[in-house]
Amino acid sequence: MPAFRTRHLCALTAAVALTATVPAASAASAADAAALREVLFVGNNWDGTADVLQSTGSLAKVGRINVIPDKDARMAEINADPIKWIYFMAIRNGVGEGHDQFADDMYTTPDGTSVVVSRPSFADVVSINLATGKINWRFPVSGYRSDHMAVSPDGTRVAVSASTANTVHVLDIDTGKQVGKFATGDKPHENIFTKDGKYIYNMAIGDVNTSTDAPWLDWTKGDRHITVVDATTYQQVRTIDMRPKLDALGLTDYSDAVRPAVFSPDESKLYFQVSFFNGFFEYDLATDKITRTKTLPKNPATSDDRTTFVNDSRHHGLSMSPDGSKLCVAGTMDDYATVVNRSTLQEGPLVTASKPYWATVSGDGKSCVISESGADQVTAIDFATGQKTVSVPVGDHPQRVRLGHVAANWTSPAS
């Protein structure tokens, strides 16, 4: 079950459990939960907005928020600091493909009053009040770029990768105060909390915006491994290096940079994508081995020249149906998405999509929702049939898509 849904169901269950002892407080909590509306947030990275859509069915637009209301102030700071300006321009001309990166990842607070957004070009995380559009708090990350985030199952903490500092910050979602941090490999990227909230997995992807992409130059990409930490003490409990595991299978030319990843429902298996590869792997946590490899079709129109892949990612986006039976894969550079049977690893129809950059699950769990960054739209694909059901236009260069909650009667704040 998606983290947002799990979190709010847990909150509602807790409220009901308190009825016998604190009926007034319980009734208020239940009413608050009932007053929330589940939605999808779509981060439009290049224009600094987030579109809010219905979480199921037609994915109709509910509203939009500006996630860079303080742009003038941030730009003044950057222009006044030569080092910040150099990194700002490096992001624009490197990973930003000639554009600024203003909206990478986002999660709503449990009460649905605010959305927390990581903003790579501004090297920060902000909380934005959904009613007023104003900033509640701002946390500048270490270094010069923020990246992917994850929210704890209870919704109280958010973990954000500081990609140039090899650090993950863990923040109180309501106050923005740091409650912990930990070191990672080079260029921390994806973060995942385990569903019991005990551990955080961070995937370091190394230097993805260099042109040293040939397999024999793989050593130039840096230290790439998964860091597992205790989510209470933030102390490292394990590292997972995919290099020897790939080598053991004879896959010596494959990158060990773990990109998007998703656990099986029982968290015994981890499915993950790596740089340059059109497919994904299955990793068994108990045996510490890659157990299956799935190679997906190449688009004949896509060059095999690795230097042409956006930030080294041939395929970037992976989600799983709530029952664990299907995987949804965004074939970024191959311009398609497909639903894969997890048992047989047989892919379904290749659904044409323009540079799909992320995959998540609809609120009702029936569909995979991908962001088409090349077409400025999001598209739903039915898990049961593998067929596209709807596409909805959004802002410039949608990337992360996350389930969240807003007030039942929420409308976009005034500009």
Q: Give the per-residue pLDDT at 34.
A: 60
Cα–Cα distance, 289 to 146 (Å, whole number):
31
Task: Find the mean pLDDT for residues 319-345.
Answer: 98
Among the residue ranges 181-185, 218-222, 229-233, 366-370, the one predicted with the least confidence is 218-222
Residue given tokens 């659904």 in the structure block: 351
Q: Give the per-residue pLDDT at 414.
A: 83
pLDDT 10s digits, 198-252: 999 999 999 998 899 999 999 999 999 999 999 999 999 999 999 999 999 999 9
Share of the chain above pLDDT 70, in %: 92
Task: Find the mean pLDDT for residues 302-316.
Answer: 93
> How far from the centroid of its chain's Cα atoms is residue 222's Cα?
22
pLDDT 10s digits, 25-73: 444 444 455 699 999 999 999 999 999 999 999 999 999 999 999 999 9
Q: Give the per-residue pLDDT at 291.
A: 98
Residue given tokens 């847990």 in the structure block: 10
Q: Give the per-residue pLDDT at 4.
A: 37
Q: How confident is the model at residue 5 (pLDDT cuts 50, 70, 90)?
A: very low
The model's pTM: 0.90
Cα–Cα distance, 208 to 211 (Å, whole number):
8
Asked if residue 2 has pLDDT above 80, the reply is no
Cα–Cα distance, 157 to 39 (Å, whole number):
20
Neighbours of 364 (CB within 10 A): 12
Task: Find the mean pLDDT for residues 291-318.
Answer: 95
Q: Which CATH superfamily is domain 35-407 in?
A: YVTN repeat-like/Quinoprotein amine dehydrogenase (2.130.10.10)
Q: How confident is the model at residue 374 (pLDDT cuts 50, 70, 90)?
A: very high
Asked if residue 322 has pLDDT above 80, the reply is yes
Asked if residue 20 has pLDDT above 70, the reply is no
By the 8 A CB rule, do 167 and 183 touch?
Answer: yes
Q: Give the per-residue pLDDT at 30.
A: 46
Q: Beta strands of 296-355 (E only): which ranges? A: 318-320, 326-331, 336-341, 351-352
Average model confidence (pLDDT) for the chain?
92
Task: Find the mean pLDDT for residues 351-364.
Answer: 97
What Å distances lie between residue 379 and 105, 291, 326, 360, CA to CA?
A: 18, 31, 17, 11
Considering only residues 388 and 11, tell me which one the structure prediction assigns the higher pLDDT: 388
Domain ranges for the chain? 1-34, 35-407
By the 8 A CB rule, do 162 and 171 touch?
Answer: no
Q: Give the per-residue pLDDT at 209.
A: 85
Q: Give the per-residue pLDDT at 33.
A: 55
Cα–Cα distance, 351 to 335 (Å, whole number):
8
Asked if residue 415 has pLDDT above 90, the reply is no
For the chain, counts of helices (H) and of strands (E): 5, 28
Task: Find the mean pLDDT for residues 90-102.
Answer: 93
Tell me the DSSP string of 9-21: HHHHHHHHHTTTT
- Is 146 strand, coil or helix? strand
Cα–Cα distance, 390 to 319 (Å, whole number):
18
Share of the chain above pLDDT 90, in %: 89
Q: Give the per-residue pLDDT at 28.
A: 42
Tell me the DSSP string of 396-408: SSEEEEEEEEEET
